[in-house]
Amino acid sequence: MDMGDARQIIAQRAAREISDGMIVNLGIGIPSLVPDYLDPSISVFFQAENGILGMGPTPKENTDGNLSNAAGYPVTLLTGGSYFDSAVAFGMIRRGCIDVSILGALQVSASGDLANWIVPGKRVPGVGGAMELAYGAKNLITLMTHTEKDGQPKIVEQCTLPITTYHCVKKIITDLAVFSIIGGKLRLDELMPGTTLEEVRAKTGTTFYQ
């Protein structure tokens, strides 16, 4: 399975976590692919931390330089949506108004610690809104490929990368499996089609229960 396929498989599975009437925030990377797989019969409002509630799809033409998502790509506004400033946007996030926050991750620990903002000396994206999304969302789901390109596991006993937020991740969806973190313990919920328990055990950097 190439990386592109893996990302699509993860996004497709993540879409099933979203149900009718939810308020959802999607991070950049794999989470941005999730809307492509949503059940078209449900109504969802996407929140973007640059000041939109009710974000709609990429416009086919006539992009507006003053209307983008948090990653800087052009979007539209759904009926009933609203624009607001950054303090209001993060007020909603910290206050717990987001039903599901779906973030990309670099590492997640067995107890739900999230590392997704910096690889010292290599990538310096900065933390953006991830700390507050991790703090405030009712449900925090992380999406990532199960391992690094070199095979290193990303689900680990203790994160080696700088932490974004401790004890925040509730669910991990990878191209191999779906895990929950309950009471600080990692539980395997599902194997993705074509995966075996042995493979997941081998490629996961920590123990888990079922």
- As measured in angstroms, the least distance from the Cβ of 202 to other proteins is 31
- Determine if residue 169 is left, alpha or beta; phi over 0 gives left, psi from -120 to 50 gives alpha, anything else beta: beta
Q: Is 49 a catalytic residue?
A: yes
Burial 19-37 (b: 16+ CB within 10 A, else e): eeebbbbbbbbbbbbbbee
Residue 112 within binding range of other proteins, rule CB under 8 A = no
Nearer to other proteins, 138 or 201 (CB): 138
Residue 65 within binding range of other proteins, rule CB under 8 A = yes
Could you say which DSSP state residue 59 is in?
Answer: P
Size of residue set near other proteins by CB under 8 A: 64
Residue 101 within binding range of other proteins, rule CB under 8 A = no
Nearer to other proteins, 122 or 210 (CB): 122
- As measured in angstroms, the least distance from the Cβ of 64 to other proteins is 7
Q: Which of residues 2-21 bind other proteins (CB under 8 A)?
A: 20-21
Tokens of 34: 């999730």
- Three-state secondary-structure class, residue 203: helix
Residue 162 within binding range of other proteins, rule CB under 8 A = yes
- As measured in angstroms, the least distance from the Cβ of 192 to other proteins is 29
- As measured in angstroms, the least distance from the Cβ of 198 to other proteins is 35
Residue 52 within binding range of other proteins, rule CB under 8 A = yes
Sign of CA dihedral 17, 98, 102, 179: negative
Report the relative pairing of strands 100-104 and 139-143 from DSSP bridges.
Answer: parallel
Listing DSSP states for 63-102 in one string gives --TT-B-TTS-B-EEEEEEEE--HHHHHHHHHHT--SEEE
Nearer to other proteins, 79 or 210 (CB): 79
Nearer to other proteins, 28 or 191 (CB): 28
Any idea which residues carry the catalytic annotation?
49
